[in-house]
């Protein structure tokens, strides 16, 4: 149960655990109550600076975010999720462009 978790969890694991728990909810009333929790978490994630945002959301554990697209969401949560996924995409594209500019042909090992 989500509420019985230790408070020693990192912020990353808290929001990942909250999303995973939300996806398991079958009672509409509980899902509606947890929608507010996710809205708060997503709002705080969107406010992170670029470095912290990257640390949290480009981590492999962030894939739990994509599991929300299979769940019936309230329109306001769907909108915030869309904005968050767009920010992830934008940040990932910037990182790839930066990586491709900083890699020169002499940096590439053709034998690996």
Site of tokens 């915030």: 80
Cβ-count burial of 42 within 10 angstroms (0-12 exposed, 13-18 middle, 19+ buried)? Answer: buried
User: Quick check: 43 and 51 in contact, CB under 8 A?
Assistant: no
pLDDT in single tens digits along all 112 residues of the chain = 444 444 445 666 777 888 889 988 888 898 889 999 999 888 888 887 877 777 776 666 677 888 888 888 899 999 988 888 888 888 878 878 877 777 555 554 444 4
Per-residue pLDDT, 35: 92
């Amino acid at each position: 149960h989500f509420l019985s978790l230790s408070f020693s969890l990192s912020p990353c694991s808290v929001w990942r655990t909250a999303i995973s728990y939300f996806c398991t909810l079958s009672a509409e009333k509980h899902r509606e109550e947890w929608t507010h929790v996710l809205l708060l978490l997503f709002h705080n994630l969107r406010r992170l600076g670029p470095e912290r945002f990257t640390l949290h959301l480009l981590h492999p554990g962030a894939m739990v975010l994509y599991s929300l697209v299979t769940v019936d969401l309230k329109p306001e949560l769907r909108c915030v999720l869309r904005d968050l996924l767009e920010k992830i995409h934008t940040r990932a594209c910037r990182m790839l462009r930066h990586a491709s500019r900083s890699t020169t042909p002499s940096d590439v090992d053709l034998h690996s």
